[in-house]
Amino acid sequence: MNKSILVFFIGALTFGSCTKEEGNIVLEGQGNQNQLGLFINDTTSFTARTVDEDSLPGNGIRYALLGHIHDPLLGKSTASLYANVVLIEPNSNFPVGVEADSAILFIPSVDGLNTYGDRTTPQLLKIDKLESVISSSNVYYQNNKFDIDENYTTYFSGSLINQYTDSLKYRKTKLKPYDGLKIKLSKKMADLLMSLPKEAYQTNEQLAKYFKGISVVPQDINLAPNTGAMNVFDINNILSLAYRAKIMLYYQDTNTFVFGFAGSTSSVTTGKTGPYNGEINQQLSSTSNFNKTYVQALGGVKTKIEMPYILNLIQNGNISINKAEIEFFVTDFDEYFYAPPRLNLFQPAKANSVRNYFIADALSGLSYGGLYNSKTKSFKFTVTRYIQNILNEMYFNKKNVNNGLYLAVPTDQPVIGARGIIDHSKTKINIIYSKPN
């Protein structure tokens, strides 16, 4: 059985003989006697627009985002942190009622890619007592709200990621210093931590009755455009006492009691984005096609891609997709607002749904792409199985599952407060398929 290969390209490409063109769609045949007939029906044309992101998971993520940023194109964004505390060294003989010397909150930053924006911008943080239990068995979302007690508030002003050379005191020794965020909590908070009922220092269950955790919320201080930053912190690591996130409670000069944090499932990053400019708002309220669309972290926005005529590929019988790729190119980025290291490609749960799940190519065990290519300034994805499934469902089951794609910033791997602007004048969809004679 002989097979011929048809190649569809969207983009400015050049071919030799046996090439037919219509608009920005180019079809190339094999140029031999077994060549199949070519059908041009805008099969791989597409539409693109910006839509609201769905509720994204805020817990169970490797790292935490924290910060406030003013993007000149997408406006203001804020990432806040809510986390339950635990006992590191339970103490049945804790000296309740002794006056606290101080309490220090420390959260280490992540090495490497730990900032999006200008990390030197001073920010204002508000730290409060958390009144909500974050259950490790529940999924929390980046738009969740949590109760806080503002009677023990601490304010911190400064850069969020700092290089420290001075060690934290721990009893009669000192802990190795790590970069990150170190904040002296209010005297009221220190006194509260020193005066919990005695059983609170013995088990985590008892502690949660009286002190559940803390909230860390960046404040909107009217940052100028192009300032502020989203920073990545490691609140979940428990490798060592020196590195892990903690609250150090000091009393009687040389004594220290340490509270830790309960892990990734009991800490939540929440996001607040917008208001957006007129161009983005226009897309959010429209179903039209746009040449430039947006993707954004923290439950902001994502891009909806639709290929309304893809089913025309099987108008003369089913085909076998040998390879299919889609490539997106970014624009309007700089050293602070750089292109995301990776993007994800999802498919809607159903028609017109903002909820989504990974396409089949992402679950195949093989790399389906999505990493940023700094040379081409693009993200390329394999969509072979995704397109084949659409065609098979219609051909064999008469079911239309051509619901489009969502391009989005990941919530994890990496954790980053990034955004991207997609230039669809360069977007390419390449499909190679075969059909028996």
**pLDDT tens digits for 381-430?**
999 999 999 999 999 999 999 999 999 999 999 999 999 999 999 999 98
In sequence order, the 6+-apart residues with CB closer than 8 A to the CB of 29 are: 4, 6, 18, 19, 35, 36, 38
For 239, the token pair is: 């490798």
How much is the pLDDT for 172?
82
Mean pLDDT of 6-21: 35
> Measuring CA to CA, how many Å separate 223 from each of 215, 239, 419?
22, 36, 18
Q: Are 132 and 149 in contact (CB under 8 A)?
A: no
Predicted confidence at residue 434, as pLDDT, reads 85
Coil/strand/helix, residue 130: strand
pLDDT, position 21: 38
Reported in sequence order, the residue ranges of 221-296 that DSSP labels E, i.e. its strands, are 227-233, 246-251, 255-261, 267-273, 292-296
Percentage of the chain beyond pLDDT 70 is: 89
State residue 34's pLDDT score.
40
Residue 55's pLDDT band (boundaries 50, 70, 90)?
confident
Res 171 pLDDT > 80: yes
CA distance 396 to 258: 63
Rounded to an integer, the average pLDDT of 141-159 is 96
Q: What is the pLDDT of residue 437?
A: 62
Where along the chain do its domains lie?
Answer: 3-54+299-436, 64-273
User: In what helix (H) or strand (E) does residue 190 lie, and over which residues does it extend?
Assistant: helix 187-194
Residue 6 has pLDDT above 70, yes or no: no
The 10s digit of each residue's pLDDT in 89-130 is: 999 899 998 999 999 999 999 988 889 999 999 999 999 999
Percent of the chain with pLDDT over 90: 76
Residue 346 CA to residue 29 CA, distance in Å, equals 31
Residue 436 pLDDT class (50, 70, 90 cuts) = low
174-185: average pLDDT: 94
Least confident segment among 28-42, 139-153, 217-231, 316-330: 28-42
